Amino acid sequence: MKVYKFGGASVKDADGVKNVCKIVANTNEALVVVVSAMGKTTNALERVLQAYLDNKQTVLENELNELYSYHKAIVEQLFAPPADMLYELEAIIEGLRFFLNVNNKRDYDFCYDQIVSVGELLSTKIVSSYISSQKVDIEWIDVRTILKTDSTYRDANVNFETSSELFKNTIDFTKHTAYLTQGFIGSNHKGYATTLGREGSDYTAAIIANLLGAESVTIWKDVPGVLNADPRIFKETVHLPSVSYKQAIELAFYGAQIIHPKTIKPLQNKSIPLYVRSFVDTSAEGTKVMANVASNDEVPVYILKQKQTLISVEPKDYSFALEDSWVKVFTIMQRYRLKANLIQSSAISMSISVDGTNQHLPDAIDEFMNDFKVKYNEGLNLLTIQNYNEYIIDSYTADVEVILQQKSRKTARILYR
């Protein structure tokens, strides 16, 4: 069996859903299909969350109505008559409204997972129903009933042992040729929705492949495979026909959006190859990710992370060389779930670049100030260049204010304004 994952761009409209159906229908093997929320639905649900937490009822109602209208328009183009599918959409939206009305737990991360997970439920109901209407044998599954995690909301850890048993008891290819389920989400032992981290549908696909012993995983994107840079930002990008597991992990860590950072490990553990292919041009070669591939050392790779905040801390009593100061810094970062994208230290100070969009960042800075002198710079960009040379470095630093720069044998990292 194979696992296919389709992201939000592939199902952003009715034509996209029809294209996904065509790809699934043309696959003769047993298949598990993982689908993300449609288009920018996750962003829309994040606005719902913020309006809810801010008690902005008018904004909240407008966002919910737009959410429904967007999916309704797609349904009306796919189904004739659309009544049954619209009823299912209304039921999901009403379930969300019910949560918003009765919930009294205002924790941001908990509310995030309960609200944002609705996007995957909406998209998979529509996609699954349409594929079934085209006489394809496919069964919809609520992944929350079989993918079990801990209660680390917004970045949950999967219970592989429990999930494995549930998956094997649920997915039976003697009953159905294909199954379709949600990416990004799971549930804890209390039944509350959890999420696996932003863009976590790739990780879901890898988990399923690992648990069921898949032949391969294919991630369908709107690009012809893994490129050496984001074509929306950089000109003259180069297609990489193959990438090693190691390089894929590095690219994901540095911020490449093509693969979720946690995706590789479940595949590497069972030597399952990953293919990145284009849903726009299904005949294109794509990129194969596996253990041993030809080296890409001659091709520079560029990854840009925007909206970075550089936090510089210095102990008030100049005891930074002591190990407990280091422990204190990383304990605070872990408590507020700040991920270090870049670290540089001296004898008495440490500077750490983190995502400036993290909701917990202001609270973390406040806690740092209890024990440290703190300075921070907002709105920075972090450029990572693999396989760099000095000409490349000079060309990218000539017209910017470089805040911090690091170089290793193969990788240069530049934090700039």
Distance CA 391, CA 398 (A): 11
Provide the percentage of residues in the chain whose pLDDT is more than 70: 97
pLDDT of residue 321 exceeding 70, the answer is: no
pLDDT of residue 296 exceeding 80, the answer is: no
Mean pLDDT, range 317-323, rounded to an integer: 64
pLDDT of residue 262 exceeding 60, the answer is: yes
| pLDDT the model gives residue 25 | 97
> Chain-wide mean pLDDT for the chain?
93
Task: Give yes or no for a contact between 348 and 354, defined as CB atoms under 8 angstroms apart.
Answer: no
Quick: pLDDT tens for 5-28. 999 999 999 999 999 999 999 998
| pLDDT the model gives residue 39 | 96
Distance CA 274, CA 1 (A): 14
| pLDDT the model gives residue 197 | 86
Query: What's 238's DSSP letter?
Result: -
Task: Give yes or no for a contact between 196 and 148, defined as CB atoms under 8 angstroms apart.
Answer: no
Confidence of residue 219 (pLDDT cuts 50, 70, 90): very high
| pLDDT the model gives residue 253 | 80
pTM attached to this predicted model: 0.88
Return the closest-CA partner of residue 17 out of 2, 42, 38, 40. 38
Mean pLDDT, range 245-269, rounded to an integer: 83
Q: Residue 378: which residues within 8 A CB-CB, separation 6 or more?
A: 309, 356
Q: For residue 275, give the H/E element and its range.
A: strand 274-278
Residue 283's identity, in one-letter code, is S
Q: Please, what is the end-to-end C-alpha distance for the chain in angstroms? A: 48
Q: List the alpha helices (DSSP H) in 309-349.
A: 323-335
Cβ neighbour number for residue 35 with a 10 Å cutoff: 28
Confidence of residue 323 (pLDDT cuts 50, 70, 90): low
Q: Is the peptide bond before 315 cis (omega within 30 degrees of 0)?
A: no
Ranking 68-77, 105-114, 252-261, 393-402 by mean pLDDT, the lowest is 252-261
Return the closest-CA partner of residue 365 out of 355, 380, 375, 357. 375
More confident residue, 252 or 219: 219
pLDDT of residue 57 exceeding 90, the answer is: yes
Ranking 130-144, 224-238, 290-304, 328-342 by mean pLDDT, the lowest is 290-304
pLDDT of residue 68 exceeding 90, the answer is: yes
Q: Residue 383: which residues within 8 A CB-CB, separation 6 or more?
A: 302, 303, 304, 396, 413, 414, 415, 416
| pLDDT the model gives residue 319 | 62
Q: Residue 327: which residues within 8 A CB-CB, separation 6 or more?
A: none
Helix (H/G/I), strand (E/B), else coil: 190: coil
More confident residue, 46 or 320: 46
| pLDDT the model gives residue 125 | 98
Evaluate the CA torsion angle 119, 125, 130, 136 in order and state its sign.
positive
CATH classification of 301-416 is 3.30.2130.10, yes or no? yes
| pLDDT the model gives residue 417 | 95
Length in residues, the chain: 417
Quick: pLDDT tens for 96-147. 999 999 999 999 999 999 999 999 999 999 999 999 999 999 999 999 999 9
pLDDT of residue 327 exceeding 70, the answer is: yes
Place of tokens 């193969």: 410
Neighbouring-strand partners of residue 415: 382, 404
More confident residue, 293 or 215: 215
Quick: pLDDT tens for 182-192. 999 999 999 99
| pLDDT the model gives residue 332 | 95
Q: Beta strand pairing status for 193-195 and 185-187?
A: antiparallel
Distance CA 164, CA 148 (A): 9
| pLDDT the model gives residue 346 | 82
Confidence of residue 66 (pLDDT cuts 50, 70, 90): very high
Domain boundaries, the chain: 2-221, 301-416
Read off φ and ψ for residue 395, nearest 5 degrees. -70, -30
For helices 118-133 and 108-116, angle between their N-to-C axes, nearest 10 degrees = 10
Q: Maximum CA pair distance of the chain?
A: 72
Distance CA 163, CA 165 (A): 5
CA angle 249, 252, 257 (to 5 degrees): 150
Provide the percentage of residues in the chain whose pLDDT is more than 90: 80
Residue 241's identity, in one-letter code, is P
| pLDDT the model gives residue 320 | 55
| pLDDT the model gives residue 81 | 93
Q: Residue 22: which residues within 8 A CB-CB, separation 6 or more?
A: none
CATH superfamily of 2-221: Acetylglutamate kinase-like (3.40.1160.10)
